[in-house]
């Protein structure tokens, strides 16, 4: 029976219409589906003229021709009761599969509701962000004012320190300038004193040199006079000695003759 059912389903796929497209049958009438949540099971048809519905997620049901399927099963060797049971099982299986498929899905209405909820949450978050931004902005503004005041105070302190350092540097420079001037004048005085001392030393040396030159000249003159006197004395002595020698020689010569 199951093998013949599978063969029947495989051979009759061309006769199946798409889901949601009820095809007409001469003995079957269709009625519009009602609103039903997912998971609503449909009862098997109790007569040869029946209609089957598969509940979808949303505001409609999916109808298909169960009577045609029952007739097709009966033509392939199934009894009426077996055909109805098979069709009922197929409807239940399809409902279960659709419930499992559409478990995590929503309808357009639910999507719009969820979108409205999300948009309301986004609006609330935006309001909270605006409020937080305003509060943060005011806090930042106050913090900026505090920082500005602190910066102004620091700037004032820095300017005071700079002016103080400048005045101190000016005073130190003036003191150093005066000290340098004093040292320069002192060095000038020392140089003048040294120059005068050097000039005096040169004068003393010149006087000493002149005195020594004079002394040398006088000594040389004295030596010259002494030499002249000694020369005369020597000449006199030599002349006397020569005359004595001549007289002695003449005396010996006379004696010898």
pLDDT in tens, 183-220: 999 999 999 999 999 999 999 999 889 999 888 989 88
- Asked whether residue 94 is domain-assigned, the answer is yes
- Asked whether residue 154 is domain-assigned, the answer is no
Residue 48 has pLDDT above 50, yes or no: no
**pLDDT, position 63:** 66
Tokens representing 95 are 């409902």
- Asked whether residue 150 is domain-assigned, the answer is no
How much is the mean pLDDT over the chain?
75
Can you tell me the distance from the alpha carbon of 64 to that of 20, in angstroms, rounded to the nearest whole number? 7
**pLDDT, position 70:** 86
pTM of the entire predicted model = 0.29
- Asked whether residue 68 is domain-assigned, the answer is yes
Place of tokens 């001549």: 246
* Distance linking the first and last C-alpha atoms of the chain: 215
Binning pLDDT at 50, 70 and 90, where does residue 127 land? Answer: confident
Percentage of residues in the chain having pLDDT higher than 90: 21
Per-residue pLDDT, averaged over 79-86, amounts to 89
SS3 for 178-205 is HHHHHHHHHHHHHHHHHHHHHHHHHHHH
Q: Which residues contact 77 (CB under 8 A, 6 or more apart)?
A: 1, 4
Burial class (CB in 10 A: 0-12, 13-18, 19+), 191: exposed
11 or 256, higher pLDDT: 256
Per-residue pLDDT, averaged over 178-185, amounts to 91
**pLDDT, position 38:** 38
- Asked whether residue 62 is domain-assigned, the answer is yes
Phi, then psi, of 70 in degrees rounded to 5: -65, -45
How many structural domains compose the chain? Answer: 1
Can you tell me the distance from the alpha carbon of 102 to that of 114, in angstroms, rounded to the nearest whole number? 17
Cβ–Cβ under 8 Å, residues 22 and 61: no
Which structural domain range is residue 75 located in? 2-105
**pLDDT, position 36:** 33
Q: Which among 144, 112, 8, 125 is positioned nearest to 69, based on CA atoms? A: 8
**pLDDT, position 73:** 87
Per-residue pLDDT, averaged over 85-99, amounts to 87
Residue 59 has pLDDT above 60, yes or no: no
Percentage of residues in the chain having pLDDT higher than 70: 75
- Asked whether residue 162 is domain-assigned, the answer is no
- Asked whether residue 18 is domain-assigned, the answer is yes
- Asked whether residue 211 is domain-assigned, the answer is no
Q: Which among 221, 78, 139, 69 is positioned nearest to 229, based on CA atoms? A: 221
110 or 195, higher pLDDT: 195
Residue 140 has pLDDT above 50, yes or no: yes
**pLDDT, position 25:** 36
């Amino acid at each position: 029976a199951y093998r013949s059912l599978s063969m029947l389903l495989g051979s009759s796929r061309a006769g199946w219409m798409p889901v949601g497209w009820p095809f007409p049958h001469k003995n079957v009438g269709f009625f519009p589906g009602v609103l039903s949540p997912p998971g609503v099971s449909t009862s098997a048809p109790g007569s040869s003229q029946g209609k089957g519905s598969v509940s979808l997620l949303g505001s409609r049901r999916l109808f298909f021709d169960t009577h045609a399927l029952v007739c097709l099963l009966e033509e392939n060797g199934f009894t009426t009761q077996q055909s109805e049971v098979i069709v009922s099982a197929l409807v239940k299986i399809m409902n279960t599969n659709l419930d499992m498929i559409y478990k995590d899905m929503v309808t357009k209405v639910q999507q719009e509701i969820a979108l409205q909820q999300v948009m309301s949450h986004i609006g609330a978050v935006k309001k909270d962000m605006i409020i937080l931004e305003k509060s943060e902005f005011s806090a930042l503004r106050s913090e900026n004012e505090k920082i500005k005041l602190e910066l102004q105070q620091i700037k004032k302190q820095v300017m005071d320190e700079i002016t103080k350092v400048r005045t101190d540097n000016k005073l130190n420079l003036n003191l150093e300038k005066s000290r340098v001037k004093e040292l320069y004048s002192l060095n000038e005085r020392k140089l003048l004193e040294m120059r005068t001392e050097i000039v005096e030393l040169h004068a003393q040396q010149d006087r000493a040199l002149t005195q020594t030159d004079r002394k040398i000249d006088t000594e040389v003159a004295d030596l010259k006079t002494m030499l002249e006197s000694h020369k005369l004395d020597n000449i006199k002595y030599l002349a006397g000695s020569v005359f004595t020698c001549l007289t002695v020689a003449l005396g010996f010569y006379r004696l010898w003759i």
